[in-house]
Amino acid sequence: MKKKQAFIERIDPSFGSSFTLKKFDSRVEDHKPFWHFHQEIELVYIPEGNGKRHIGNHISNYYNGDLLVIGGKLPHFGFRDRLIGNGKEVVLHFREDFLGENILMKPEFIAIRRFLELSKNGISFFGNSKSEVGERLESLFYMSNFEKLIEVMKILNILATSRDMEVLNVSGVMVSPSAHGADRLDEVFSFVRENFQEEIALEQLAEMTSMTVPSFCRFFKKQTGKTFIEFLNEYRIAHACKLLADDPMSITDVCFEAGFNNFSHFNKYFKRITGKSPSEYRKELALVVLPE
């Protein structure tokens, strides 16, 4: 029987520090991402590369690197896996009270306090904020512990006052307190990642999670805020967006490669989710559309 990944990840501060700072300089080929959360707020910087990000109810692609803030208890998939082409990653974990109890109530910290509250929905940064904070994060490895603490405060202030941001889960996300429910979600999400290009029947998932079909549908909607079909279509559209950006295949081929077996359904869902047709999306990325 396959051993399941832990859902609640424990993160201990680095020695002599009130937060955890790590750098990964290469991909971990045998490390598969899993659906998890932790008490700590996570700031992750990926200088280069592209891939899918699944944070809360949000599914999308990132290109040319990413800078994300993921609030405590916000469930998400990890980034270091063989499906993602990044070669470097800097990760900072810290608790909301890492500066001390009640310090965020001081008037000087009002912007940071609001920012950390907003981070519970997940935030993606771009533009000058991404490049400036990225450089500052990488410089942390050459500082003393005291200098690191001061620099982390500066980084949080830059992010808190930035306009170069996108909130990823506007409506919020539910997190199951049940470890058993979390294992079930991990199993379903992992199955989708491996099989989204094929037909996936609700009966398969119900059997996998030891539920009836109606029970599974209620469970999934309660945990994610959307039906399984909505989630599956969003995942397929996210994959289609990546293909449209990275691969010069025809839009018809993208449709089938993303797991849709009906071109009109693909167009309908694509526009519903992205607000654009596939051809409009590709044109905005200034990529060549091959003749169909």
The tens digit of pLDDT for each residue in 20-51 reads 999 887 655 545 666 778 889 999 999 887 77
> Do 78 and 134 belong to one domain?
yes
Beta carbons within 10 angstroms of residue 82's beta carbon: 12
In one-letter notation, the amino acid at residue 166 is E
Please check whether residue 117 is in contact with residue 29, taking contact to mean a CB–CB distance below 8 angstroms: no
| Best CA proximity match to 140, nearest among 72, 50, 43, 66 | 43
- pLDDT for position 147: 95
> Do 152 and 241 belong to one domain?
no
> Do 114 and 187 belong to one domain?
no
> Do 188 and 162 belong to one domain?
no
With a cut of 50, say whether residue 1 has pLDDT above it: no
In one-letter notation, the amino acid at residue 288 is V
> Do 138 and 187 belong to one domain?
no
Look at residue 242 and tell me if it is in a domain. yes
> Do 202 and 238 belong to one domain?
yes
* Number of domains the chain contains: 2
Query: pLDDT tens for residues 257-284?
Result: 999 999 999 999 999 888 889 998 888 7
Which of 167, 190, 218 is the last residue before a domain boundary?
167
Joined together, the tokens standing for residue 4 give: 């399941």
Query: pLDDT tens for residues 58-73?
Result: 888 887 789 999 998 8
Domain that holds residue 249: 179-284
With a cut of 50, say whether residue 292 has pLDDT above it: no
| Best CA proximity match to 64, nearest among 125, 122, 21 | 125
- pLDDT for position 287: 44
Query: pLDDT tens for residues 166-182?
Result: 999 876 565 554 555 66
Please check whether residue 66 is in contact with residue 51, taking contact to mean a CB–CB distance below 8 angstroms: no
What CATH number is given to the structural domain containing 218?
A: 1.10.10.60
Cα distances (angstroms) measured from residue 178 to each of 174, 225, 227: 12, 16, 20
- Strands 20-24 and 41-46, by their bridges, are unpaired
Please check whether residue 13 is in contact with residue 40, taking contact to mean a CB–CB distance below 8 angstroms: no
* Phi, psi for 72 (deg, rounded to 5): -60, 140
Joined together, the tokens standing for residue 138 give: 């990488």
Q: How many CA atoms lie within 13 A of 12 on its CB side?
A: 3
| Best CA proximity match to 12, nearest among 1, 22, 27, 25 | 22
CA distance 133 to 200: 41
Classify the phi-psi angles of 172: left when phi > 0, otherwise alpha if psi is within -120 to 50, otherwise beta. Answer: left
Helix and strand tally (H, E) in the chain?
10, 10
With a cut of 70, say whether residue 223 has pLDDT above it: yes
> Do 28 and 147 belong to one domain?
yes
Which of 146, 167, 188 is the last residue before a domain boundary?
167
Classify residue 2 by its DSSP letter: P
Look at residue 172 and tell me if it is in a domain. no
Please check whether residue 90 is in contact with residue 136, taking contact to mean a CB–CB distance below 8 angstroms: no
Which residue is listed with tokens 């992010």? 159
> Do 142 and 65 belong to one domain?
yes
CA distance 26 to 29: 9
* Its pTM surpasses 0.75: no
Look at residue 76 and tell me if it is in a domain. yes
> Do 81 and 114 belong to one domain?
yes
**Going by C-beta distance under 8 Å and a sequence separation of 6 or more, which residues neighbour residue 291?**
250
- pLDDT for position 214: 95
> Do 214 and 77 belong to one domain?
no
> Do 115 and 156 belong to one domain?
yes
Which of 120, 147, 167 is the last residue before a domain boundary?
167
CA distance 18 to 14: 7
CA distance 211 to 223: 15
What CATH number is given to the structural domain containing 33?
A: 2.60.120.280
More confident of the two residues 158 and 176: 158
